[in-house]
Amino acid sequence: MATMKSVVIDTPNDVANSSSDLKIQVTPQPALSATQVLVKVVAFGVNRMDLLQAKGMYPLPPQAPKTLGVEFSGVVVDANQSAEWKIDDEVFGLAYGGAYAEYIAVDAHMILRKPTHLTHVQCAAICENYLTAHQALSTIGRIKAGDDVLIHAGASGVGMAAIQLARHYGARRVFATAGSDAKIDAVKGLPMGATHGINYRTQSFDKEVLAHTDNKGVDVIVDMVGQSYLNANINAAGKDARIVLLGVMSGMVASEVNVGPIIFKRLCIQGSTLRSRSAEYQGDLLNDFRKAALDKVGKDLELRIHSVFSWKQIALAHDCMAANENTGKIVCNNGSSRWRRGDGLDAANAAIPECNIHCEYDQEEFVVRIKQNGRIVATIAHTITEEGELYMRQHLLRQTVHSYSVAVGAVCGQGNGSGEVLSLQLQPDGIGDEKVKLHCIGNEIRTPDHNVVALYCERRTRLGLHLHTYLQTSQQCYVLPAFILLVAARIFTRVVWCKRLDGLAERHDLMQYDKRLGMVVNEQAPNSF
């Protein structure tokens, strides 16, 4: 029987007492039914239902496996009997469960082709948020241009998706509730953000809505909170309004509900779930969303990702969500991405035999290791996002900093306080007394548009050779040839640097990159980038 690794609840009754009960263990690889395909998971989203399921508090549909996780992005490795999909297709989609794993068996109707402008991490953040919001607004809420809309839990993943979709579908005014002024700023600051933010801790949302709609109320309400909001929702609703209930965060039983306004306003109150729907329904919803808005996601419709964890940090990911720390999506990357043309490791290792330095990527551990004389001298386990790279470059230019490590340390410290700057002394064979100082700089800074690991060499105190290795962590960018740290002793008699490839387009232009990398650029190293 084929096996894989997956996240399991390591307790006798399969109920987690705390996040520390979530462990990665070897489990059987799922068998395929006639309608399923097998996908190698690259990234998966973390949702509140996962936390409830882990605690035994979520009613599962009968077809759901024990493994957590309902949304993912990855690569088809077994198309089975599908006429639509083939091996190596990059996809994302929904599942009844099982996404917290290396492989997932999923119905062929419940996946879509990954858009080329989005990364796997971004795609893993789409389905539960945007499809739930699309279902509430379009399928059930029947939103139309000119409607006024109220979105509760606006700073949640579903809330942010609903705010933007409502604007995309032509809403005139979008009211969003949240529990702090910072979260209000976040929901109003989206590219297609809320027109009105309401802090439910200090304001009555129904009174605010009526005050801004000339007492007419809103046309559509999307509510994840539940019973404590029901009466105020009825009060804030206009005539013929649709109230869509998606959650019961405040409880399930509402008392002293005034049914009169429901009748006189002709209100439609409907609850909905997504996970328990049929594969056909979810597939149709996916395709409807694809036609309506998928091409705008990541562009006009922001995918706000709060943090990206390695799946080995699944306990931390669950703790982050349980503490309500996130403004946006939490995603786990399981490190099972494939290397493509352009990874350059073999070529780089062949080019630097004189130094006995060997670079290798460990897909299981999700790290890059640099070895010298067979001994591990550096392990790069973190990433710097493209956003972080641009910020660092601006920091260098603004501060006229000559030391890249100073700038990176400053930026990483501003990012999340866990900046890492690792300095190592390497003694290349045959160089005599010469030493090369290798700095491995890694940190995770906000949105993972294109993860980057940056390396550079510094000879004595003068900036020498810049090497920006674009590692494909979750296929967020092509891995471009790099890791050429030392070629021959004579290189170190002069200052040599590799020009940085500016712009995402050039980074994907592998032929141009290969051509540039093949040149020896004999120029004075710049004082700043």
pTM of the model: 0.66
Q: CA 442 to CA 23: how far, in whole Å? A: 26
Write the pLDDT tens digit of every residue in 384-413. Answer: 333 333 333 443 333 333 333 333 333 333
Q: Do 157 and 239 share a structural domain?
A: yes
Mean pLDDT along residues 405-426: 32
pLDDT at 197 over 50: yes
pLDDT confidence bin for 256, thresholds 50/70/90: confident
Are 295 and 301 spatial neighbours (Cβ–Cβ below 8 Å)?
A: no
Tell me, yes or no, whether 136 lies in a domain: yes
Q: Do 511 and 401 share a structural domain?
A: yes
**Which pLDDT score is estimated for 514?**
31
**Which pLDDT score is estimated for 121?**
86
Q: CA 125 to CA 92: how far, in whole Å? A: 10
Q: Do 449 and 409 share a structural domain?
A: yes
Ranges 148-157, 167-176, 240-249, 308-317: which has the least confidence: 308-317
pLDDT at 24 over 90: yes
pLDDT at 203 over 50: yes
Neighbours of 433 (CB within 10 A): 5
From first CA to last CA, the distance across the chain in angstroms is 53
Tally DSSP H helices, then E strands, for the chain.
15, 22
**CATH code for the domain in which residue 172 is found:** 3.40.50.720
Tell me, yes or no, whether 339 lies in a domain: no
Tell me, yes or no, whether 524 lies in a domain: no
Tell me, yes or no, whether 291 lies in a domain: no
Q: Do 171 and 107 share a structural domain?
A: no
Q: Write down which residue in 226, 254, 271 finishes a domain.
A: 271
Which of 1-5, 162-166, 437-441 holds the top average pLDDT? 162-166
**Which pLDDT score is estimated for 374?**
59
Write the pLDDT tens digit of every residue in 274-297. Answer: 998 999 999 999 999 999 999 999
Q: How many domains does the chain have?
A: 3
Write the pLDDT tens digit of every residue in 85-136. Answer: 999 999 999 999 999 999 999 999 999 999 988 888 889 999 999 999 999 9
Tell me, yes or no, whether 287 lies in a domain: no
**Which pLDDT score is estimated for 295?**
94
Q: Do 409 and 325 share a structural domain?
A: no
Q: Do 146 and 58 share a structural domain?
A: no
**CATH code for the domain in which residue 329 is found:** 3.90.180.10
Tell me, yes or no, whether 283 lies in a domain: no
Q: Do 116 and 88 share a structural domain?
A: yes
Structure tokens at 523: 């120029």
Q: Do 354 and 250 share a structural domain?
A: no
pLDDT at 478 over 50: no
Q: Do 351 and 308 share a structural domain?
A: no
Tell me, yes or no, whether 296 lies in a domain: no
Q: Do 136 and 114 share a structural domain?
A: no
Q: Do 329 and 224 share a structural domain?
A: no
Residues 6+ apart with CB under 8 A from 255: 227
**Which pLDDT score is estimated for 375?**
56
Q: Do 397 and 464 share a structural domain?
A: yes
**Which pLDDT score is estimated for 223?**
96
pLDDT at 366 over 50: no
Q: Which amino acid is at 88?
A: D
Range of the domain at 323: 3-126+303-333
Tell me, yes or no, whether 529 lies in a domain: no
